[in-house]
């Protein structure tokens, strides 16, 4: 019979090395491909269906707690007022689960690449072995600042030593196996091991890792299981780690789209954030950035050098070309904007063509306004559409036209000039 599982996520740290600006968010809310680091963790733990979820928050907890209430309502925030270390944070997390009996999965909030399969394997190993503690470990040629897994005779787990406490121990630093910061515990073994943890270490902190050493010393069973891809489990501590995690997750997301039939010509230069819907058969050309929440239909072509923002929607067969930015744009089937264009807060009708250099001037300095372009309309090169404004079905704007706010272009008419005026039938004869 499987024992109930509680999840404790440690998310109280400041992330000093990521806080490069005054307005930097707390570490766990730093965005990575459109969602916070903690959201990546939430998604990884979700399939484990923990009976209880506790998230230890502290640094700028108002922001983290507000995010939890919105994005992870099942999680209970627990305050760690002073960040006295991972062991201290874990103890507070367990104090919020006083009556819980079962297993506790501990996850640090700064491992956005955590994958459910590895977490499931950890819990399964823990159960099979009937262990008191099971540590998820990784292997890297140089484990840098990470905690090292020290093994004794017969490869048996002994303890975890932080790199910062091993500066004079090259034998320890040479160990390639490191602690990922993910553990499964039998709660009955963990509770006593967290009492009176020492702070006599390089960081003056209570270490969660010491609790594992203690369980082992006290005769408890400590197991380990090792992830296949050690690099993915290093955690995000500085901007280089963040860039590495972003790049790895970006590749993972692109691969999923490729496998689903999306033709991403060059995944290395294409950024598709989380939660983007792309139909099979769509084609994404290099140097394109698609933000979270956008949607791209079958047969669409996007890029090269395109940027889709603000939940833009491309219906089937729509085309977005080079140096085109869309924000909260809805392009109906077969609509096209192929060159050098800004389409913000706009609806573009089916088969409409938006010429090179078109701009929807959506911002009057105070408020954003909408533009509606009708089906089969043709917007001439260099047109400025000052919102709010609409261009009717089949209407045409001449090159360089400026259509002022509120001066809607009637269906089927042609407007030219600055400000745009309707082309008289006589003019039409001379220009045709």
Active site residues: 339
Give just the sign of the alpha carbon dihedral 237, 243, 246, 251: negative
Residue 186 C-beta: closest distance to Ca ion, Å: 25
Q: Which is nearer to ligand UD1, 136 or 314 (CB)?
A: 136
Q: Is 53 in the site for ligand UD1 (CB under 6 A)?
A: no
Q: Which of residues 8-47 bind ligand UD1 (CB under 6 A)?
A: 10-13, 27
Residue 143 C-beta: closest distance to ligand UD1, Å: 8
Question: Near Ca ion by CB under 5 A, which window of 192-200, 232-240, 289-297, 306-314?
Answer: 232-240
Q: Is 235 in the site for Ca ion (CB under 5 A)?
A: yes
Q: Using CB atoms, what's the residue nearest to ligand UD1? A: 147
b/e 275-312 (16+ beta carbons within 10 angstroms → b): bbebbeebbbbebbbbbbbbbbbbbbbbbbbbbbbebb
Nearest CA to 377 out of 406, 410, 345, 403 is that of 410
H or E element in which residue 189 lies: helix 187-193
Q: Is 56 in the site for ligand UD1 (CB under 6 A)?
A: yes
Q: Which residue has the tokens 């990884």?
A: 44
Coil, helix or strand for 317? coil
The CA distance from 228 to 241, in Å, is: 19
Pattern 217-236, ligand UD1, x by CB under 6 A: ------------------x-
Nearest CA to 383 out of 407, 422, 354 is that of 354
The 10 Å Cβ neighbour count of residue 413 is 14
CA 296 to each of CA 34, 58, 315, 327, 399: distance values in angstroms, whole numbers, following the listed order: 17, 39, 6, 13, 29
Ramachandran angles phi, psi of 173, nearest 5°: -65, -25
The answer to whether 220 and 213 are in contact (CB under 8 A) is no
Q: Exactly one of 34, 77, 109, 303 binds ligand UD1 (CB under 6 A); which one?
A: 109
Q: Which is nearer to ligand UD1, 89 or 282 (CB)?
A: 89
Q: Which of residues 157-196 bind ligand UD1 (CB under 6 A)?
A: 160, 162, 178-181
Q: Which of residues 76-115 bind Ca ion (CB under 5 A)?
A: 110
Ramachandran angles phi, psi of 148, nearest 5°: -95, 145
Q: Is 212 in the site for ligand UD1 (CB under 6 A)?
A: no
Q: Which is nearer to ligand UD1, 211 or 331 (CB)?
A: 211
DSSP assignments along 256-290, one per residue? HHHHTT-EES-GGG-EE-TT-EE-TT-EE-SS-EE
Question: Near Ca ion by CB under 5 A, which window of 230-238, 247-255, 264-272, 277-285?
Answer: 230-238
Nearest CA to 207 out of 162, 239, 244 is that of 162
Q: Indicate which of ligand UD1, Ca ion, none lies near residue 13 (CB less than 5 to 8 Å, by partner kind).
A: ligand UD1
Question: Near ligand UD1 by CB under 6 A, which window of 205-213, 216-224, 364-372, 411-419?
Answer: 205-213
Q: Indicate which of ligand UD1, Ca ion, none lies near residue 264 (CB less than 5 to 8 Å, by partner kind).
A: none
Question: Near Ca ion by CB under 5 A, which window of 54-62, 123-131, 234-242, 296-304?
Answer: 234-242
Q: Is 208 in the site for ligand UD1 (CB under 6 A)?
A: yes
Residue 236 C-beta: closest distance to ligand UD1, Å: 8
Q: Exactly one of 24, 31, 60, 83 binds ligand UD1 (CB under 6 A); which one?
A: 83
Q: Indicate which of Ca ion, ligand UD1, none lies near residue 83 (CB less than 5 to 8 Å, by partner kind).
A: ligand UD1
The answer to whether 98 and 191 are in contact (CB under 8 A) is no
Coil, helix or strand for 210? helix
CA 414 to each of CA 341, 352, 390, 425, 431: distance values in angstroms, whole numbers, following the listed order: 21, 14, 13, 10, 12
Q: Which two tokens stand for residue 295?
A: 């949607």
Residue 300 C-beta: closest distance to ligand UD1, Å: 39
Q: Which is nearer to ligand UD1, 227 or 306 (CB)?
A: 227
Nearest CA to 210 out of 223, 198, 227 is that of 198
Q: Indicate which of ligand UD1, Ca ion, none lies near residue 178 (CB less than 5 to 8 Å, by partner kind).
A: ligand UD1
Q: Is 324 in the site for ligand UD1 (CB under 6 A)?
A: no
The CA distance from 267 to 280, in Å, is: 16
Q: Which of residues 131-160 bind ligand UD1 (CB under 6 A)?
A: 146-147, 160
Question: Near ligand UD1 by CB under 6 A, which window of 5-13, 16-24, 308-316, 335-343?
Answer: 5-13
Q: Indicate which of Ca ion, ligand UD1, none lies near residue 183 (CB less than 5 to 8 Å, by partner kind).
A: none
Q: Is 88 in the site for ligand UD1 (CB under 6 A)?
A: yes
> Using the 8-state DSSP alphabet, how is residue 358 labeled?
-
> Which residues would be at the binding site for Ca ion (CB under 5 A)?
110, 235, 237
Residues that bind ligand UD1 (CB under 6 A): 10-13, 27, 56, 80, 83-86, 88-89, 108-110, 146-147, 160, 162, 178-181, 207-209, 235, 237
């Amino acid at each position: 019979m499987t024992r109930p599982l509680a999840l404790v996520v440690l998310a109280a740290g400041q992330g000093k090395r990521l806080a490069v600006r005054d307005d930097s968010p707390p570490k766990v809310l730093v965005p990575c491909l459109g969602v916070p680091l903690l959201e990546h963790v939430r998604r990884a733990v979700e399939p484990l269906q923990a009976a209880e979820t506790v998230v230890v928050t502290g640094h700028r907890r108002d922001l983290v707690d507000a995010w939890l209430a919105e994005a992870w309502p099942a999680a209970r925030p627990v305050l760690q007022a002073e960040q006295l270390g991972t062991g201290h944070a874990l103890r507070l997390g367990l104090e919020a689960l006083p009556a819980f009996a079962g297993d506790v999965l501990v996850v640090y909030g700064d491992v956005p690449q955590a994958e459910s399969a590895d977490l499931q394997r950890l819990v399964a190993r823990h159960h099979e072995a009937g262990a008191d503690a099971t540590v998820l470990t990784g292997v890297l040629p140089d484990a840098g600042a990470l905690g090292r897994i020290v093994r004794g005779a017969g490869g048996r787990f002994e303890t975890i030593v932080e790199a910062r406490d091993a500066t004079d121990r090259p034998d320890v630093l040479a160990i390639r196996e490191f602690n990922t910061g993910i553990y499964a515990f039998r709660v009955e073994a963990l509770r006593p091991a967290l009492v009176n943890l020492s702070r006599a270490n390089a960081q003056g902190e209570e270490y969660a890792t010491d609790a594992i050493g203690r369980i082992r010393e006290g005769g408890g069973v400590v197991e380990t299981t090792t992830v296949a891809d050690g690099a993915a489990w290093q955690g995000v501590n500085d901007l280089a780690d963040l860039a590495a995690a972003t790049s790895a997750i970006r590749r993972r997301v692109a691969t999923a789209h490729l496998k689903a039939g999306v033709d991403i010509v060059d995944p290395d230069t294409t950024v598709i954030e989380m939660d983007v819907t792309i139909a099979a058969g769509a084609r994404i050309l290099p140097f394109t950035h698609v933000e979270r929440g956008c949607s791209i239909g079958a047969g669409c072509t996007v890029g090269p050098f395109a940027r889709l923002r603000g939940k833009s929607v491309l219906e089937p067969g729509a085309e977005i070309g080079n140096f085109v930015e869309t924000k909260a744009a809805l392009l109906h089937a077969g609509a096209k904007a192929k060159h050098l264009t800004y389409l913000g807060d706009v609806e573009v009708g089916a088969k409409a063509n938006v010429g090179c250099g078109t701009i929807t001037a959506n911002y009057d300095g105070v408020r954003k306004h909408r533009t509606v372009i009708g089906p089969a309309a043709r917007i001439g090169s260099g047109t400025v559409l000052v919102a709010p404004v609409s261009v009717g079905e089949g209407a045409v704007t001449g090159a360089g036209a400026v259509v002022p706010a509120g001066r809607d272009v009637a269906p089927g008419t042609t407007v030219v000039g600055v400000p745009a005026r309707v082309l008289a039938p006589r003019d039409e004869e001379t220009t045709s």
